[in-house]
Amino acid sequence: MFFEYPKLLWLMVVPALLVLHYIYLELAERHPHLRVSTAVPWLAKSTRFKGALRHIPFILRTVALCLIVAAIARPRSSEDMEKIDTEGIDIVLAMEVSTSMLARDLTPDRINASKDIAIEFISQRPSDRMGIVVFAGESFTQCPLTTDRATLINLMKEVQTDLIEDGTAIGNGLATAIARMKDSDAKSRVVILLTDGVNNRGEVSPQMAAEIAKTYGVRVYTIGVGKEGTAPYPVMTPWGVEVRNVQVEIDEKLLAEIAESTGGRYFRATDNTKLAEIYAEINKMEKAKTTVDSFPVYKELFGRYALMALIAILLELVFNWFVIRRFV
C-alpha cells in the first residue's frame, strides 16, 4: 500500500497535538482541589470503570480524525499483472485412412496408433489452431481449423479406414490441407502429413501440391509409418480374417522431397515409440511465440478509510447518547 499524496499525512500532527492537549488537561485536573455543587453537596468519586468510560468518545474522535487524514492522502494498493499474448501456429494433420493403415506392425495397428499419438500432440498445443484432413483414394476435411480441443479430439477418435474410397492420394490430401489454411493470417502454417504407402490416386500430383504449399508458405512435415520389409496385415478369406505378412512400400524419396521443398522434414516411424518421438520433435521445432507484458493494477482504498472514519464518528455519537449520559 502507498499514498498518492503522502505530504498530506503531515496533518496527522493535528490529532497528535489534540492528544497531548487532552493529556495535559487530564493531568491538570489531578491537582488537589475541592468541587462544590449547587445541587449536591458533595460529589462522590467516580469509579475506575466510569473514569475509563469518559475517555472513549475522545479516542473515537481522534481515530476518526486520523482515518480522515489518511483517506484524503488517497491510499492505494498495487498489484503487478501479466498479459500473455501467444502467437499461435496453424497446424493441419493430414492422415491417410486407406485399408493399408490396418497393418499391425504398430500396436494395435497403424491407424489407431496414429490417432492416439496425434490426440496427445493436440493436447500439448493449447494455443494453436488445428485441423484434421483424411485421405485415401480421395480426401476431405474431418475438422476445420479450430482451437476447440474437445471437438478436435472427438473428431480424431472418429477417424477410421472405411470413410472414403480406398487408395493413396497423397497430392489430394496435401492440397486439401493447404486449402484449409491458405487464407490464414497466422505467421506460421504447418501440415503434418502421415502416410504408409505410395501415391496411386488423385487429381493433384504430390509435386504440384508441394509447389502450392511452397507458394503459400506452408511448411510440410512428412511421416512414413510402417516397418521395414513386411508387416502383418488382416486379410478377409472365406474362412474368416487371417493375418498375413505383406510387403511394406513407402515412397520415402517422394516424402523427403515434399518436406525439403517446403522447409519441413521427413520422418520414418517403424513403431509406436518412434512415432511418438517424431511428434514430440515436431512439437519442439514448432514453438509458438509468446509475449509477456507486465503492468501494475491499482486499487483505491479511500472508501475503506472513509467508511471506518464514519463508523468511528457514529460510535462516538451513540456512546455519548446512550452510555455517557447514563453512567458518567
pLDDT for 31 equals: 53
pLDDT for 43 equals: 43
Residue 66 DSSP SS3: helix
Per-residue pLDDT of the chain (328 residues; tens, 9 = 90+): 778 888 888 888 888 888 888 888 877 765 555 455 554 444 444 455 566 677 788 888 889 888 898 888 888 887 766 555 566 789 999 999 999 999 999 999 999 999 999 999 999 998 889 999 999 999 999 999 999 999 999 999 999 998 899 999 999 999 999 999 988 888 889 999 999 989 999 999 999 999 999 999 999 999 999 998 999 999 888 888 888 999 999 999 999 999 999 999 999 999 999 999 999 999 998 876 655 555 677 788 878 888 898 898 888 888 778 776 665 5
Please, what is the angle between helix 272-285 and helix 110-123, to 10°?
30
Q: Are 40 and 322 in contact (CB under 8 A)?
A: no
Q: How far apart are CA 306 and CA 78, in angstroms?
A: 19
Kindly report, residue by residue over 50-61, the tens digit of the pLDDT. 666 777 888 888
pTM higher than the cut 0.75:
no
Domain-wise residue ranges, the chain: 2-80+298-327, 89-287
In one-letter notation, the amino acid at residue 270 is T
pLDDT for 28 equals: 74
Residue 139 DSSP SS3: strand
pLDDT for 141 equals: 96
Q: How far apart are CA 110 and CA 125, in angstroms?
A: 23
Nearest to 313 by CA among 68, 19, 12, 26: 68
Nearest to 155 by CA among 188, 131, 185: 131
In one-letter notation, the amino acid at residue 72 is I
Q: How far apart are CA 131 and CA 147, in angstroms?
A: 9
The radius of gyration of the chain from alpha carbons, rounded to an integer in Å, stands at 40
**Helix, strand, coil percentages in the chain from 3-state DSSP, rounded to 5:** 45, 25, 30
Q: Are 247 and 230 in contact (CB under 8 A)?
A: yes
pLDDT for 42 equals: 41
Nearest to 58 by CA among 29, 15, 116: 15
**Kind plus residue range of the DSSP H or E element containing 304:** helix 302-319
Q: Write the CB contacts of 60 (distance below 8 Å, at least 6 apart in sequence).
A: 312, 313, 315, 316, 319
The pair phi, psi for residue 200, each rounded to 5°, is -140, 5
Q: Are 296 and 80 in contact (CB under 8 A)?
A: yes
pLDDT for 44 equals: 46
Q: How far apart are CA 305 and CA 70, in angstroms?
A: 7
Q: Are 199 and 96 in contact (CB under 8 A)?
A: no
What dihedral do alpha carbons 262, 263, 269, 274 form, nearest 10°? -150
Residue 134's beta-bridge partner residues? 95, 140
Residue 121 DSSP SS3: helix
pLDDT for 240 equals: 81
CATH topology for 89-287 is: Rossmann fold (3.40.50)
pLDDT for 29 equals: 66
Average pLDDT of the chain, as a whole number: 86
pLDDT for 49 equals: 58
Q: Write the CB contacts of 102 (distance below 8 Å, at least 6 apart in sequence).
A: 109, 110, 111, 161, 233, 234
Residues recorded for the chain: 328
Q: How far apart are CA 168 and CA 150, in angstroms?
A: 29
